[in-house]
Structure 1
Amino acid sequence: MDQLQKYKSTDKMMDLISDNYALLQVMSRFGVSLGFGDKTVKEVCEMNGVDSRTFLVVVNFMAEGFSRMNTDDPDAISIPALVDYLRQAHTYFLDFCLPAIRRKLLEALDYSENDVSFLILKFFDEYMHAVRKHMEYENKTVFTYVDALLQGKVLKSFQISTFSQHHDQVGERLTELKNIIIKYCPSTASNYLLHAALFDIYACEEELESHSQVEDLLFVPAILKLERRVRNDEK
Protein backbone atom coordinates (compact mmCIF):
# COMPACT_ATOMS: atom_id res chain seq x y z
CA MET A 1 0.00 0.00 0.00
CA ASP A 2 2.85 2.41 0.82
CA GLN A 3 4.03 2.50 -2.79
CA LEU A 4 0.65 3.80 -3.97
CA GLN A 5 0.33 6.61 -1.45
CA LYS A 6 1.52 10.19 -1.65
CA TYR A 7 2.55 10.11 2.01
CA LYS A 8 4.27 7.00 3.36
CA SER A 9 5.06 5.55 6.77
CA THR A 10 8.79 6.23 6.23
CA ASP A 11 8.26 9.95 5.53
CA LYS A 12 9.16 12.38 8.28
CA MET A 13 6.03 13.72 9.97
CA MET A 14 7.49 17.22 9.74
CA ASP A 15 7.63 16.88 5.95
CA LEU A 16 3.89 16.16 5.82
CA ILE A 17 3.14 19.41 7.66
CA SER A 18 5.57 21.39 5.52
CA ASP A 19 3.92 20.02 2.39
CA ASN A 20 0.32 20.50 3.59
CA TYR A 21 -0.28 22.38 6.83
CA ALA A 22 -4.01 21.48 6.72
CA LEU A 23 -2.94 18.00 7.87
CA LEU A 24 -2.33 19.52 11.32
CA GLN A 25 -6.08 19.13 11.87
CA VAL A 26 -5.89 15.43 11.02
CA MET A 27 -3.00 14.98 13.45
CA SER A 28 -4.94 16.73 16.19
CA ARG A 29 -7.98 14.53 15.73
CA PHE A 30 -5.85 11.40 15.91
CA GLY A 31 -4.38 12.70 19.18
CA VAL A 32 -0.88 13.17 17.74
CA SER A 33 1.12 15.62 19.83
CA LEU A 34 3.64 18.09 18.46
CA GLY A 35 7.30 18.00 19.44
CA PHE A 36 8.18 14.84 17.49
CA GLY A 37 11.47 16.08 16.05
CA ASP A 38 12.58 14.31 12.86
CA LYS A 39 10.72 11.08 13.51
CA THR A 40 8.87 9.26 10.74
CA VAL A 41 5.11 8.96 10.43
CA LYS A 42 5.27 5.38 11.69
CA GLU A 43 7.44 6.33 14.68
CA VAL A 44 5.24 9.30 15.65
CA CYS A 45 2.08 7.20 15.38
CA GLU A 46 3.62 4.47 17.55
CA MET A 47 4.64 7.10 20.14
CA ASN A 48 1.05 8.33 20.32
CA GLY A 49 -0.69 4.95 20.21
CA VAL A 50 -2.20 5.64 16.78
CA ASP A 51 -2.73 3.05 14.05
CA SER A 52 -0.32 4.31 11.38
CA ARG A 53 -2.09 2.65 8.44
CA THR A 54 -5.40 4.31 9.30
CA PHE A 55 -3.63 7.63 9.84
CA LEU A 56 -2.03 7.35 6.39
CA VAL A 57 -5.32 6.38 4.73
CA VAL A 58 -6.95 9.52 6.14
CA VAL A 59 -4.11 11.98 5.43
CA ASN A 60 -3.74 10.69 1.88
CA PHE A 61 -7.49 10.87 1.36
CA MET A 62 -7.50 14.47 2.62
CA ALA A 63 -4.56 15.36 0.38
CA GLU A 64 -5.73 13.63 -2.79
CA GLY A 65 -9.51 13.60 -2.48
CA PHE A 66 -9.78 9.86 -3.03
CA SER A 67 -8.56 6.67 -1.40
CA ARG A 68 -5.96 4.26 -2.76
CA MET A 69 -6.83 1.84 0.04
CA ASN A 70 -6.94 -1.81 -0.97
CA THR A 71 -10.52 -2.71 -0.03
CA ASP A 72 -9.62 -6.42 -0.04
CA ASP A 73 -7.02 -5.90 2.70
CA PRO A 74 -8.76 -6.41 6.09
CA ASP A 75 -5.92 -4.59 7.84
CA ALA A 76 -5.96 -1.54 5.55
CA ILE A 77 -7.91 0.44 8.12
CA SER A 78 -8.65 0.14 11.83
CA ILE A 79 -12.33 0.85 12.43
CA PRO A 80 -11.81 1.70 16.14
CA ALA A 81 -9.09 4.19 15.13
CA LEU A 82 -11.31 5.74 12.46
CA VAL A 83 -14.28 6.02 14.83
CA ASP A 84 -12.08 7.71 17.42
CA TYR A 85 -10.87 10.13 14.74
CA LEU A 86 -14.46 10.99 13.79
CA ARG A 87 -15.49 11.45 17.44
CA GLN A 88 -12.59 13.86 17.96
CA ALA A 89 -13.59 15.75 14.81
CA HIS A 90 -17.09 16.18 16.24
CA THR A 91 -15.60 17.53 19.47
CA TYR A 92 -13.49 20.00 17.47
CA PHE A 93 -16.45 21.38 15.52
CA LEU A 94 -18.92 21.50 18.42
CA ASP A 95 -16.66 22.65 21.25
CA PHE A 96 -14.03 24.75 19.49
CA CYS A 97 -14.52 25.75 15.85
CA LEU A 98 -18.17 26.86 15.80
CA PRO A 99 -18.14 28.56 19.24
CA ALA A 100 -15.00 30.49 18.19
CA ILE A 101 -16.77 31.79 15.09
CA ARG A 102 -19.78 32.78 17.18
CA ARG A 103 -17.54 34.78 19.54
CA LYS A 104 -16.04 36.65 16.58
CA LEU A 105 -19.50 37.44 15.21
CA LEU A 106 -20.62 38.73 18.60
CA GLU A 107 -17.58 40.99 18.83
CA ALA A 108 -17.81 42.21 15.25
CA LEU A 109 -21.51 43.07 15.00
CA ASP A 110 -23.41 46.00 16.52
CA TYR A 111 -26.68 44.63 17.90
CA SER A 112 -27.98 47.91 19.28
CA GLU A 113 -29.22 49.44 16.04
CA ASN A 114 -29.50 46.86 13.27
CA ASP A 115 -31.88 43.96 12.78
CA VAL A 116 -29.52 42.27 10.29
CA SER A 117 -27.03 41.69 13.11
CA PHE A 118 -29.67 39.79 15.07
CA LEU A 119 -30.59 37.81 11.94
CA ILE A 120 -26.96 36.79 11.38
CA LEU A 121 -26.51 35.56 14.94
CA LYS A 122 -29.93 33.85 14.96
CA PHE A 123 -29.13 32.04 11.73
CA PHE A 124 -25.74 30.97 13.03
CA ASP A 125 -27.23 29.68 16.28
CA GLU A 126 -29.81 27.66 14.34
CA TYR A 127 -27.03 26.27 12.16
CA MET A 128 -24.96 25.30 15.22
CA HIS A 129 -27.99 23.53 16.67
CA ALA A 130 -28.46 21.56 13.44
CA VAL A 131 -24.81 20.53 13.36
CA ARG A 132 -24.90 19.50 17.03
CA LYS A 133 -28.06 17.43 16.49
CA HIS A 134 -26.49 15.72 13.47
CA MET A 135 -23.18 14.93 15.16
CA GLU A 136 -24.75 13.82 18.44
CA TYR A 137 -26.92 11.42 16.45
CA GLU A 138 -23.76 9.98 14.93
CA ASN A 139 -22.06 9.75 18.34
CA LYS A 140 -25.00 8.08 20.08
CA THR A 141 -26.59 5.98 17.34
CA VAL A 142 -24.12 5.30 14.53
CA PHE A 143 -20.99 4.78 16.62
CA THR A 144 -22.91 2.69 19.18
CA TYR A 145 -24.02 0.46 16.31
CA VAL A 146 -20.42 0.16 15.11
CA ASP A 147 -19.21 -0.67 18.62
CA ALA A 148 -21.72 -3.53 18.71
CA LEU A 149 -20.56 -4.79 15.29
CA LEU A 150 -16.98 -4.85 16.56
CA GLN A 151 -18.21 -7.13 19.35
CA GLY A 152 -19.83 -9.42 16.79
CA LYS A 153 -23.42 -8.21 17.36
CA VAL A 154 -25.84 -6.71 14.83
CA LEU A 155 -28.35 -4.31 16.40
CA LYS A 156 -31.72 -4.76 14.71
CA SER A 157 -32.72 -1.11 15.20
CA PHE A 158 -30.19 0.29 12.70
CA GLN A 159 -28.10 -0.47 9.64
CA ILE A 160 -25.31 1.57 8.11
CA SER A 161 -27.13 2.01 4.78
CA THR A 162 -29.66 4.20 6.63
CA PHE A 163 -26.84 6.53 7.66
CA SER A 164 -25.42 6.49 4.13
CA GLN A 165 -28.73 7.34 2.47
CA HIS A 166 -29.68 10.15 4.85
CA HIS A 167 -26.31 11.65 5.59
CA ASP A 168 -26.70 15.43 5.44
CA GLN A 169 -23.94 17.54 3.97
CA VAL A 170 -24.07 19.92 6.92
CA GLY A 171 -21.47 22.25 5.44
CA GLU A 172 -23.82 23.33 2.65
CA ARG A 173 -26.08 25.24 5.02
CA LEU A 174 -23.38 27.84 5.66
CA THR A 175 -23.83 29.24 2.14
CA GLU A 176 -26.91 31.27 3.09
CA LEU A 177 -25.18 32.71 6.15
CA LYS A 178 -22.16 33.76 4.06
CA ASN A 179 -24.46 35.47 1.56
CA ILE A 180 -26.30 37.38 4.30
CA ILE A 181 -23.04 38.62 5.80
CA ILE A 182 -21.53 39.62 2.44
CA LYS A 183 -24.64 41.29 1.00
CA TYR A 184 -26.41 42.81 4.00
CA CYS A 185 -23.99 43.24 6.90
CA PRO A 186 -24.38 46.70 8.51
CA SER A 187 -21.60 49.23 7.92
CA THR A 188 -21.22 49.67 11.69
CA ALA A 189 -19.67 46.21 12.00
CA SER A 190 -15.99 45.91 12.84
CA ASN A 191 -14.35 45.39 9.45
CA TYR A 192 -11.33 43.37 10.55
CA LEU A 193 -13.27 41.15 12.94
CA LEU A 194 -16.09 40.47 10.50
CA HIS A 195 -13.70 39.58 7.69
CA ALA A 196 -11.87 37.26 10.09
CA ALA A 197 -15.16 35.61 11.09
CA LEU A 198 -16.19 35.22 7.44
CA PHE A 199 -12.81 33.70 6.60
CA ASP A 200 -13.30 31.20 9.44
CA ILE A 201 -16.78 30.35 8.15
CA TYR A 202 -15.35 29.54 4.71
CA ALA A 203 -12.62 27.41 6.31
CA CYS A 204 -15.16 25.64 8.54
CA GLU A 205 -17.36 24.90 5.53
CA GLU A 206 -14.42 23.26 3.74
CA GLU A 207 -13.50 21.25 6.83
CA LEU A 208 -17.09 20.04 7.30
CA GLU A 209 -17.24 18.96 3.67
CA SER A 210 -13.97 17.04 4.02
CA HIS A 211 -15.27 15.47 7.23
CA SER A 212 -18.44 14.33 5.47
CA GLN A 213 -16.39 12.83 2.64
CA VAL A 214 -14.28 10.84 5.12
CA GLU A 215 -17.51 9.49 6.61
CA ASP A 216 -19.13 8.73 3.25
CA LEU A 217 -16.13 7.38 1.33
CA LEU A 218 -13.97 5.76 4.02
CA PHE A 219 -16.14 5.08 7.07
CA VAL A 220 -19.37 3.84 5.45
CA PRO A 221 -17.68 1.36 3.04
CA ALA A 222 -15.60 -0.05 5.91
CA ILE A 223 -18.70 -0.52 8.08
CA LEU A 224 -20.66 -2.10 5.22
CA LYS A 225 -17.92 -4.74 4.94
CA LEU A 226 -17.89 -5.28 8.70
CA GLU A 227 -21.68 -5.49 8.76
CA ARG A 228 -21.74 -8.15 6.03
CA ARG A 229 -19.02 -10.16 7.78
CA VAL A 230 -20.83 -10.12 11.13
CA ARG A 231 -24.16 -11.03 9.53
CA ASN A 232 -22.53 -13.96 7.74
CA ASP A 233 -20.93 -15.13 10.97
CA GLU A 234 -24.36 -15.09 12.65
CA LYS A 235 -25.86 -17.45 10.05
Structure 2
Amino acid sequence: MTNRRYYTAHSRMADLLSEHYNIFSLISRLGIPLGMGDHTIREVCEANHVDTDTFMYLVHFDLYPDLRETLTPDPGTIDVAQIISFLRTSHRYFLEVRLPDIGEALKVALEGAPHDIRVVVQRYFADYCKEVRNHMHYEDEVVFPYAEGLLRGGEGKRDYSIINFEKHHDQVELKMHELKSLFLKYYTWEANLKLYNVLHDLYACGEELLNHNDIENQIFIPCIKALEKSSSR
Protein backbone atom coordinates (compact mmCIF):
# COMPACT_ATOMS: atom_id res chain seq x y z
CA MET A 1 0.00 0.00 0.00
CA THR A 2 1.39 3.38 -1.01
CA ASN A 3 2.06 5.80 1.81
CA ARG A 4 0.31 9.08 1.13
CA ARG A 5 0.88 12.39 2.76
CA TYR A 6 -2.16 14.60 2.90
CA TYR A 7 -1.32 18.24 3.19
CA THR A 8 -3.40 20.76 5.11
CA ALA A 9 -3.66 24.51 5.01
CA HIS A 10 -1.27 24.56 7.98
CA SER A 11 1.49 22.72 6.09
CA ARG A 12 4.41 24.84 4.92
CA MET A 13 4.17 25.77 1.26
CA ALA A 14 7.94 25.32 0.84
CA ASP A 15 7.68 21.73 2.13
CA LEU A 16 4.94 20.94 -0.39
CA LEU A 17 7.01 22.31 -3.27
CA SER A 18 10.27 20.66 -2.26
CA GLU A 19 8.56 17.27 -1.95
CA HIS A 20 6.44 17.59 -5.13
CA TYR A 21 8.09 19.70 -7.83
CA ASN A 22 5.11 19.21 -10.16
CA ILE A 23 3.18 21.64 -7.95
CA PHE A 24 5.34 24.44 -9.39
CA SER A 25 3.10 24.41 -12.47
CA LEU A 26 0.06 24.76 -10.21
CA ILE A 27 1.32 27.80 -8.29
CA SER A 28 2.58 29.47 -11.48
CA ARG A 29 -0.89 29.28 -13.06
CA LEU A 30 -2.50 30.65 -9.92
CA GLY A 31 -0.11 33.60 -9.80
CA ILE A 32 1.69 32.53 -6.62
CA PRO A 33 5.33 33.74 -6.64
CA LEU A 34 8.36 32.04 -5.14
CA GLY A 35 10.08 33.23 -1.99
CA MET A 36 7.37 32.09 0.45
CA GLY A 37 9.80 31.49 3.33
CA ASP A 38 8.32 29.36 6.11
CA HIS A 39 4.76 30.54 5.57
CA THR A 40 1.91 28.03 5.61
CA ILE A 41 -0.15 27.18 2.56
CA ARG A 42 -3.04 29.25 3.90
CA GLU A 43 -0.81 32.26 4.54
CA VAL A 44 0.69 32.11 1.05
CA CYS A 45 -2.71 31.67 -0.59
CA GLU A 46 -4.29 34.54 1.33
CA ALA A 47 -1.35 36.82 0.55
CA ASN A 48 -1.87 36.14 -3.17
CA HIS A 49 -5.69 36.19 -3.22
CA VAL A 50 -5.98 32.47 -3.92
CA ASP A 51 -8.82 30.53 -2.31
CA THR A 52 -7.18 28.05 0.08
CA ASP A 53 -9.84 25.33 -0.23
CA THR A 54 -9.61 25.46 -4.01
CA PHE A 55 -5.82 25.27 -3.87
CA MET A 56 -5.87 22.28 -1.51
CA TYR A 57 -8.37 20.48 -3.73
CA LEU A 58 -6.16 21.03 -6.80
CA VAL A 59 -3.06 19.88 -4.89
CA HIS A 60 -4.52 16.53 -3.86
CA PHE A 61 -6.17 16.14 -7.27
CA ASP A 62 -2.73 16.53 -8.84
CA LEU A 63 -0.80 14.38 -6.37
CA TYR A 64 -3.11 11.34 -6.31
CA PRO A 65 -4.63 10.66 -9.76
CA ASP A 66 -5.96 7.27 -8.64
CA LEU A 67 -8.25 8.99 -6.14
CA ARG A 68 -9.74 11.51 -8.55
CA GLU A 69 -12.91 9.50 -9.13
CA THR A 70 -13.63 9.61 -5.38
CA LEU A 71 -13.25 13.39 -5.12
CA THR A 72 -16.52 15.29 -5.47
CA PRO A 73 -16.13 18.99 -6.23
CA ASP A 74 -18.55 21.29 -4.43
CA PRO A 75 -19.16 24.70 -6.03
CA GLY A 76 -19.99 25.89 -2.52
CA THR A 77 -16.40 25.37 -1.37
CA ILE A 78 -14.50 25.59 -4.67
CA ASP A 79 -13.93 29.00 -6.23
CA VAL A 80 -15.20 28.28 -9.75
CA ALA A 81 -14.01 31.65 -11.06
CA GLN A 82 -10.51 30.76 -9.91
CA ILE A 83 -10.74 27.38 -11.65
CA ILE A 84 -11.68 29.18 -14.88
CA SER A 85 -8.76 31.59 -14.48
CA PHE A 86 -6.47 28.64 -13.82
CA LEU A 87 -7.68 26.87 -16.99
CA ARG A 88 -7.25 30.00 -19.11
CA THR A 89 -3.68 30.42 -17.86
CA SER A 90 -3.03 26.74 -18.56
CA HIS A 91 -4.15 27.29 -22.14
CA ARG A 92 -1.65 30.14 -22.54
CA TYR A 93 1.08 27.92 -21.11
CA PHE A 94 0.44 25.12 -23.60
CA LEU A 95 -0.09 27.36 -26.63
CA GLU A 96 2.53 30.04 -25.99
CA VAL A 97 5.25 28.16 -24.11
CA ARG A 98 5.12 24.37 -23.95
CA LEU A 99 4.19 23.42 -27.51
CA PRO A 100 6.29 26.14 -29.23
CA ASP A 101 9.32 25.08 -27.18
CA ILE A 102 8.83 21.44 -28.21
CA GLY A 103 8.38 22.53 -31.83
CA GLU A 104 11.67 24.45 -31.83
CA ALA A 105 13.52 21.57 -30.16
CA LEU A 106 12.02 19.13 -32.67
CA LYS A 107 13.22 21.25 -35.58
CA VAL A 108 16.79 21.21 -34.22
CA ALA A 109 16.69 17.48 -33.44
CA LEU A 110 15.61 16.66 -37.01
CA GLU A 111 18.35 18.67 -38.73
CA GLY A 112 20.31 15.56 -39.70
CA ALA A 113 17.30 13.56 -40.89
CA PRO A 114 16.30 13.18 -44.57
CA HIS A 115 14.10 15.95 -45.95
CA ASP A 116 11.01 13.78 -46.39
CA ILE A 117 11.16 12.59 -42.77
CA ARG A 118 11.55 16.16 -41.49
CA VAL A 119 8.56 17.31 -43.54
CA VAL A 120 6.27 14.49 -42.37
CA VAL A 121 7.15 14.78 -38.69
CA GLN A 122 6.97 18.58 -38.56
CA ARG A 123 3.69 18.64 -40.47
CA TYR A 124 2.20 16.07 -38.11
CA PHE A 125 3.32 18.09 -35.10
CA ALA A 126 1.89 21.28 -36.62
CA ASP A 127 -1.45 19.54 -37.21
CA TYR A 128 -1.44 18.36 -33.61
CA CYS A 129 -0.77 21.90 -32.33
CA LYS A 130 -3.60 23.22 -34.51
CA GLU A 131 -6.00 20.67 -33.04
CA VAL A 132 -5.01 21.63 -29.49
CA ARG A 133 -5.35 25.34 -30.34
CA ASN A 134 -8.85 24.88 -31.81
CA HIS A 135 -9.89 22.82 -28.78
CA MET A 136 -8.72 25.47 -26.33
CA HIS A 137 -9.99 28.40 -28.41
CA TYR A 138 -13.52 26.95 -28.22
CA GLU A 139 -13.25 26.76 -24.45
CA ASP A 140 -11.86 30.30 -24.12
CA GLU A 141 -14.42 31.89 -26.46
CA VAL A 142 -17.57 29.85 -25.77
CA VAL A 143 -17.44 27.66 -22.68
CA PHE A 144 -15.75 29.92 -20.14
CA PRO A 145 -17.83 33.04 -20.98
CA TYR A 146 -20.95 30.89 -20.58
CA ALA A 147 -19.75 29.67 -17.17
CA GLU A 148 -18.86 33.21 -16.11
CA GLY A 149 -22.39 34.30 -17.02
CA LEU A 150 -23.77 31.68 -14.66
CA LEU A 151 -21.44 32.88 -11.91
CA ARG A 152 -22.78 36.42 -12.33
CA GLY A 153 -26.24 35.10 -11.58
CA GLY A 154 -27.52 34.93 -15.13
CA GLU A 155 -28.44 31.91 -17.18
CA GLY A 156 -25.79 32.43 -19.81
CA LYS A 157 -26.79 31.60 -23.36
CA ARG A 158 -30.26 30.09 -23.27
CA ASP A 159 -29.48 27.82 -26.20
CA TYR A 160 -26.33 26.46 -24.56
CA SER A 161 -25.55 23.98 -21.80
CA ILE A 162 -22.39 22.48 -20.38
CA ILE A 163 -23.63 19.24 -21.95
CA ASN A 164 -22.75 20.83 -25.31
CA PHE A 165 -19.21 21.19 -24.03
CA GLU A 166 -19.05 17.54 -23.00
CA LYS A 167 -20.08 16.54 -26.51
CA HIS A 168 -17.63 18.99 -28.08
CA HIS A 169 -14.87 18.11 -25.64
CA ASP A 170 -12.89 16.06 -28.12
CA GLN A 171 -9.92 14.39 -26.51
CA VAL A 172 -6.61 15.32 -28.11
CA GLU A 173 -4.61 12.52 -26.52
CA LEU A 174 -5.27 10.21 -29.50
CA LYS A 175 -3.40 12.62 -31.76
CA MET A 176 -0.54 12.78 -29.25
CA HIS A 177 -0.46 8.97 -29.14
CA GLU A 178 -0.22 8.85 -32.93
CA LEU A 179 2.61 11.38 -32.88
CA LYS A 180 4.61 9.35 -30.37
CA SER A 181 3.94 6.16 -32.32
CA LEU A 182 5.30 7.85 -35.43
CA PHE A 183 8.68 7.96 -33.70
CA LEU A 184 8.54 4.66 -31.85
CA LYS A 185 7.38 2.50 -34.75
CA TYR A 186 8.22 4.27 -37.99
CA TYR A 187 11.19 6.60 -37.44
CA THR A 188 13.99 4.59 -39.08
CA TRP A 189 16.63 7.32 -39.28
CA GLU A 190 19.35 7.32 -36.64
CA ALA A 191 18.08 9.17 -33.56
CA ASN A 192 20.31 11.58 -31.65
CA LEU A 193 20.28 12.65 -28.01
CA LYS A 194 18.31 15.78 -28.84
CA LEU A 195 15.55 13.73 -30.43
CA TYR A 196 15.30 11.46 -27.39
CA ASN A 197 14.99 14.59 -25.28
CA VAL A 198 12.14 15.82 -27.48
CA LEU A 199 10.40 12.46 -27.10
CA HIS A 200 10.68 12.79 -23.33
CA ASP A 201 9.10 16.25 -23.57
CA LEU A 202 6.30 14.90 -25.77
CA TYR A 203 5.44 12.24 -23.20
CA ALA A 204 5.58 14.76 -20.36
CA CYS A 205 3.42 17.22 -22.28
CA GLY A 206 0.93 14.44 -23.01
CA GLU A 207 0.63 13.73 -19.29
CA GLU A 208 0.17 17.44 -18.57
CA LEU A 209 -2.66 17.63 -21.12
CA LEU A 210 -4.33 14.54 -19.65
CA ASN A 211 -4.20 16.17 -16.22
CA HIS A 212 -5.62 19.36 -17.72
CA ASN A 213 -8.52 17.42 -19.25
CA ASP A 214 -9.19 15.68 -15.94
CA ILE A 215 -9.49 19.06 -14.21
CA GLU A 216 -12.04 20.12 -16.82
CA ASN A 217 -13.96 16.84 -16.74
CA GLN A 218 -13.91 16.13 -13.02
CA ILE A 219 -13.88 19.61 -11.46
CA PHE A 220 -15.03 22.29 -13.91
CA ILE A 221 -17.90 20.43 -15.60
CA PRO A 222 -19.51 19.09 -12.36
CA CYS A 223 -19.36 22.59 -10.83
CA ILE A 224 -21.00 24.17 -13.87
CA LYS A 225 -23.70 21.48 -13.93
CA ALA A 226 -24.47 22.33 -10.31
CA LEU A 227 -24.66 26.04 -11.18
CA GLU A 228 -26.99 25.29 -14.09
CA LYS A 229 -29.23 23.30 -11.80
CA SER A 230 -29.38 26.04 -9.17
CA SER A 231 -29.99 28.81 -11.74
CA SER A 232 -32.94 26.92 -13.28
CA ARG A 233 -34.86 26.77 -9.99
Q: TM-score, normalised by structure 2?
A: 0.91
Q: CA deviation at 1:117?
A: 1.4
Post-superposition shift, 1:171? 2.5
**TM superposition shift of 1:19:** 2.2
Residues 161-172 of structure 1: matches in 2 within 5 Å? 161-172=163-174
Deviation at 1:111, TM superposition (A): 7.0
Residue in structure 2 matched with residue 47 of structure 1 by the alignment? 47
Distance, in Å, in 2 between the alignment partners of 1:220 and 1:200 is: 28
Q: How far off is 1:60 after superposition? A: 0.8
Identity among equivalent positions (%) equals 38
Alpha-carbon displacement from aligned partner over 1:10-45 (angstroms, at most 9, x marks no partner): 111111112211111111111111111111111111
**What pairs up with 1:48-63 in 2 under 5 angstroms?**
48-63=48-63
Residue in structure 2 matched with residue 77 of structure 1 by the alignment: 78
Question: In the aligned structure 2, how far is the partner of 1:171 from the partner of 1:13?
Answer: 32
- In structure 2, C-alpha distance between the alignment counterparts of 1:171 and 1:94, rounded to whole Å: 16
Structure 1 residue matching 2:232: 3-state secondary structure: helix
The count of residues paired between Structure 1 and Structure 2 equals: 226
Shift of 1:185: 3.0
CA distance in 1 between counterparts of 2:49 and 2:132 reads 30
Quote the Cα distance in structure 2 between the aligned partners of 1:126 and 1:181: 16
Contact 1:109 1:188 in 2 (8 A): no
Instruction: List aligned pairs for 1:124-143, cutoff 5 A.
Output: 124-143=125-144
Provide the rounded CA distance (Å) in 1 between the counterparts of 2:165 and 2:203.
26
Aligned to 1:176: 178
Task: Give the whole-Å Cα distance in 2 for the aligned partners of 1:56 and 1:62.
Answer: 10
Q: Which moved more, 1:158-167 or 1:219-228?
A: 158-167
Q: Deviations over 1:75-125 (max 9, x none)?
A: 320011110000011010000000000000011103773311111100000
* Residue 67 of structure 1: how far off its partner (Å): 6.5
Measured in 1, the distance between the counterparts of 2:187 and 2:116 equals: 10
8 Å Cα contact 2:75-2:226 kept in structure 1? no
State the partner residue of 2:124.
123
Distance change (3 Å), C-alpha of 1:57 and 1:112: closer
Distance 2:81 2:198 in 1: 34
2:159 alignment partner in structure 1: 157
Q: Which runs of 5+ in 1 are unaligned?
A: none
Distance 1:79 1:108 in 2: 41
Distance 1:112 1:225 in 2: 53
The RMSD of aligned alpha carbons is 1.8
Return the alpha-carbon distance in structure 2 between the equivalents of residues 103 and 129 of structure 1.
Answer: 16
SS of the equivalent of 2:220 reads: helix
Task: Supply the distance in 1 between the matched residues of 2:190 and 2:79 (Cα, whole angstroms).
Answer: 51
Q: Give the TM-score, by structure 1 length.
A: 0.90
Contact 1:117 1:185 in 2 (8 A): no
Moved more, 157-166 or 212-221: 157-166
Over residues 110-153 of structure 1, what are the superposed CA-to-partner deviations in whole Å (9 max), with x where a residue is unaligned? 37733111111000000000000000100000001011111111
Q: Which residue of 2 aligns with 1:114?
A: 115
1:183 Cα offset (Å):
3.0
Runs (5+) with no aligned partner, structure 2: none
